[in-house]
Amino acid sequence: MKKIIISSLVLMAPLAAAAATLGDILGTIRSLVNTIIPLFMVVAVAVFLWGIVKYITSAGDEEKQKSARGYIIYGLIGLFVMVAFWGIIQVVASTFGITPGGTISLPTINP
């Protein structure tokens, strides 16, 4: 079964390559990232704030404070990873000249 899936993906790869250009693919990825990353950032901020609330309400219980610190750390790590990922996508998109509409500026030669 695994061989059938892999071989069908390999055989369909030229079709996918012919169907879209690099600009279309990068534009789609950029629009998808610009839609999903803010949602994940909201979740990461919520986890961070939940950790702060749990830490404040732990009232000296070491085990609860340790659990709350984990939420705070995971929230901060999540925010850092998402901002870094978003920044890398923006750098790649600006390097290839992709505008938010998903178009790419083609080079021209003046005779």
Whole-number pLDDT of residue 15: 54
CA 96 distance to own-chain centroid? 18
pLDDT tens digit sequence for 83-104: 898 888 788 878 877 666 555 5
Instruction: Read off the pTM.
Output: 0.59
Q: Own/partner pairs for 78-85, CB < 8 Å, 24+ apart?
A: 78/40, 78/43, 78/44, 78/47, 79/41, 79/44, 79/45, 79/48, 82/37, 82/40, 82/41, 82/44, 83/41, 85/33, 85/37
